[in-house]
Structure 1
């Protein structure tokens, strides 16, 4: 006998939508990869989900991560032989990490809304 998973959200809400609103909600959920519940919760938390990034995005991010790993290995060898100063390497590493975070923010993370009542 299967048991239902325990939900962290225990308060169901019923919402009535017009046919057009329902179609739009379905399109938005499909584009973002969110369930209807997750989409509404995101909006309630003042975050607008973004559409799922294209497959190329994931390939690009994987490649960037591989470049970062290769740079890290090169830096370890260079540092062991005193070829690169640690502070120079830290700057390069920070720039790569910042680039990866900016790309994720622009393509994956939901955008924050400001309703005027919150200080964030």
Structure 2
């Protein structure tokens, strides 16, 4: 059974239909998902460039390598834990900000 079983018909002119189709295509969402985002008060962002996911994968690999190095350095007692923790937090914050800026939809202005 479908979660959404209510259908709403909306009439658009050719210009509005083309504009909606352009926005939907740029977002990478289905038309229905795009409209539901708008109804819920958020504007979907354009789909990220193709290399975005490759870059994020690389950043996550770097973070994983940092974690492995930290574990080994901690075992050998050759690391300043506070300084390392601060650097990792900065790295994680940077990844989060990039994700928010590129992927997450933004709330509509009220």
Tell me, yes or no, whether TM beats 0.5: yes
TM-score scaled by structure 1? 0.85
Return 5+ residue gaps in structure 2 as ranges. Answer: none
Deviation at 1:8, TM superposition (A): 1.8
Deviation at 1:59, TM superposition (A): 1.4
Question: 1:96 aligned to 2:91?
Answer: yes
- Residue 33 of structure 2 aligns to a residue whose secondary structure is helix
- Distance in 2 (CA, whole Å) between partners of 1:93 and 1:103 is 15
TM-score scaled by structure 2? 0.93
- The CA deviation string for residues 36-72 of structure 1, in whole angstroms up to 9 with x for no partner, is 1101110011110111111121111111111101101
Question: 1:14 aligned to 2:9?
Answer: yes
Give the aligned length.
Answer: 110
Could you tell me which residue of structure 2 aligns to residue 33 of structure 1? 28
| Greater helix share, structure number | 2
Match of 1:109 among 93, 104, 107: 104
Match of 2:69 among 71, 74, 78: 74
Q: Deviating runs (4+, > 3 A) in structure 1?
A: none
